[in-house]
A = this chain, B = another copy of it.
Amino acid sequence: MRGYDLDLLRYLQVLIEEESVSLAARRLKVSEPAMSRHLAKLRVAFADPILVQSGRRMSASVFALGILDRVQELVRNADSLIETRALANLANMAPTFTIRANDLVVAALALPLLQALKKECPRCEVIWAPEVDDPASDPLRHGRVDLYIGATDVMKPEIRRQTLFRDHMQGVVRKDHPILSTPVTPQNMVLYDYISVSRRGRAQGPIDWVLRAQYGLARRIAMVVPNYHCMVESLKDSDLILPLPGIVIDHISVKALGLATFRFPFPLPSIDAFQAWHPRRDTDPVHRWLRETLFRVSHRVLGNKAA
């Protein structure tokens, strides 16, 4: 007794995930009849229907749903065997990774990431590409950048992504700012002027949208600065309010700068920071290792901001 054809596991995973013969076929780039026949073979091998009629559609059987995790893990582990070969020589490789991210991310993650990478690949090199104003998709697409880290809205659909951490804006003010003496409300927070950080001069964002949509209020942007460095030293001498993401606030010495923070009095959409890469790098074992390392490091360093 030889056992069933293990390659059927690839079809099994996709059939269960899609719960559809035609979608599974499309995904694995075979015809529907071919996929239907693989399903028939799986039904025999497993003595289970795997997919059962559910009206005009199909749904996975209880058994199939019960084993999906294990199937996914099996396929992932089987495919990672090949990567083992590729990664077996990491210690002798000297790959160069070009990563594009803004200053906040670089400040928070560059050193921990490099340390983690060099543990397994001592001769690797990380180039942090400067964040310029064009969309990140183009350099990813053209191979000038291997990995993007950030929260841009502008990303081509073909680019693959994975969320690294979620962040929220908080207000930063001088430590004896009047707004800190009473609970912060939408009404009192618009009594002061604001600084907005934006490279593109875009002064308004989610804070303004919520104030307008839910409270009929508007805040005044007194100033727009290209990055936060410009203001943290002098903020303590003004009544200005500087909204900053948590990753920055964690990075600066709030107390030593004579500053304090407050949370905005309404839920703001989180800022999803993600890593993005071109599909060309999807199955590259060394690049996959880079991404997995980054994922791990960002979770460790930014633990309470993790996705």
Contact status of A75 and B6, CB under 8 A, knowing A47-B85, A85-B48: yes
Q: Is the CB of A46 within 8 A of B85?
A: yes
For this complex, 20 residue pairs linking A to B, each with C-beta atoms less than 8 Å apart, are: A1-B283, A2-B10, A2-B29, A3-B10, A3-B78, A3-B79, A3-B283, A6-B7, A7-B7, A9-B78, A46-B82, A46-B85, A47-B85, A47-B86, A48-B85, A67-B84, A70-B77, A74-B74, A74-B78, A74-B81
Interface SS majority for chain A: helix
Q: Is the CB of B74 within 8 A of A77?
A: yes
Shortest A18–chain B CB gap in Å is 16
Q: In the bound complex, what is the Cα–Cα distance between A70 and B84 (angstroms)?
A: 11
Chain B residues in 8 Å Cβ range of A29: 2
The interface centre, meaning the residue of A46, A74, A282, A283 with most chain B CB atoms within 10 A of its CB, is A74
Q: How many chain-A residues does the 8 Å CB contact rule pick out?
A: 33
Residue A71 CB within 8 A of the other chain: yes
Interface string of A76-111 (1 = CB under 8 A from B): 011101101110100000000000000000000000
| Nearest B residue (CB) for A86 | B47
Q: In the bound complex, what is the Cα–Cα distance between A86 and B48 (angstroms)?
A: 10
Chain B residues in 8 Å Cβ range of A7: 5-7
Q: In the bound complex, what is the Cα–Cα distance between A163 and B80 (angstroms)?
A: 34
| Nearest B residue (CB) for A48 | B85
Residue A40 CB within 8 A of the other chain: no
Q: In the bound complex, what is the Cα–Cα distance between A82 and B66 (angstroms)?
A: 12
Interface string of A44-75 (1 = CB under 8 A from B): 01111000000000000001001100110011
Chain B residues in 8 Å Cβ range of A48: 85
The interface centre, meaning the residue of A7, A29, A81 with most chain B CB atoms within 10 A of its CB, is A81
